[in-house]
A and B are shown apart, each in its own frame.
Chain A
Amino acid sequence: MSAVEVKDIVKRYGTVAALDRVTVTVAEGEFFALLGPSGSGKTTLLRAIAGFVIPEAGEIRIDGQRIERVPVYRRGIGMVFQNYALFPHLSVFDNVGFGLQVRGVAGAEIAARVAEALRLVRLSGMEMRKPRELSGGQQQRVALARALVTRPKVLLLDEPLGALDKRLRQEMQVELKQIQRAVGITTLFVTHDQEEALTLSDRIAILSEGRLVQVGPPTEVYEYPATRFAAEFLGEANLFVGHAEQSGTEAVVLTPAGVRIRTALPLPAGAEAMLAVRPEKIQLTNGRAVRPDGANHVEGRILRSVYSGSSIAYRIEIPGQELTVFEQNRAAAPRDVGETVTLSWSPGHSIPVAA
Chain B
Amino acid sequence: MAKLAFRSILVLVLVFLYLPLAVMAVMAFNTSQLYALPIEFGTVWFQRLAGNERLIGAGLNSVLIALANTAIATVLGTMAALAFQRYRFRGSTPLQILLLPPITIPWLIIGTAMLVLFFWTGIGRGLHAILLGHVALSLPYVIVVVGARLRSFGVTLEEAAATLGAGPWATFRRVTLPVIAPGVVAAALFAFAVSFDQFVISYFLAPPGVSTLPVEIYSAIRKGFTPEINAISTVIILVSMGLMLGVARLYRFGGEE
Contact = CB atoms under 8 A, between A and B. Distances in A.
Interface of A: 50-52, 71-79, 81, 83, 85-89, 98-99, 101-103, 146-147, 150, 156
13 contacts: A51-B162, A72-B162, A73-B164, A87-B157, A87-B160, A87-B175, A87-B179, A98-B174, A99-B165, A146-B164, A147-B163, A150-B164, A150-B165
B179 A89 contact: yes
Nearest to B156: A85
Given A83-B156, A88-B179, A89-B179, A98 B163 contact: no
A81 B156 contact: yes
Given A102-B166, A102-B170, A52 B159 contact: yes
Nearest to A152: B163
A98 B157 contact: no
A94 to B, nearest CB: 9
A134 to B, nearest CB: 16
Contacts of A83: 156
B161 interface: yes
B165 A102 contact: yes
Contacts of A79: 159-160, 163
Given A89-B179, A102-B170, A73 B157 contact: no
Given A87-B175, A88-B179, A89-B179, A98 B166 contact: yes
A147 B179 CA distance: 20
Nearest to A97: B164
B167 interface: yes
B237 to A, nearest CB: 33
A225 B225 CA distance: 91
B165 A50 contact: no
A73 B167 contact: yes
Given A89-B178, A89-B179, A77 B170 contact: no
Contacts of B179: 87-89
A88 B162 CA distance: 16
A295 B165 CA distance: 59
Contacts of A51: 162
A78 B163 contact: yes
B157 A85 contact: yes
A324 to B, nearest CB: 40
Interface in B101-154: 153
A72 B153 CA distance: 20
A96 to B, nearest CB: 10
B162 A85 contact: no
A86 B163 CA distance: 12
Given A89-B179, A98-B174, A50 B163 contact: yes
Contact of B166 (A73, A76, A146): A73
A146 B157 CA distance: 13
Contacts of B163: 50, 72-73, 75, 77-79, 147, 156
B164 A102 contact: yes
Given A98-B174, A102-B170, A102-B174, A85 B160 contact: yes
B156 A98 contact: no
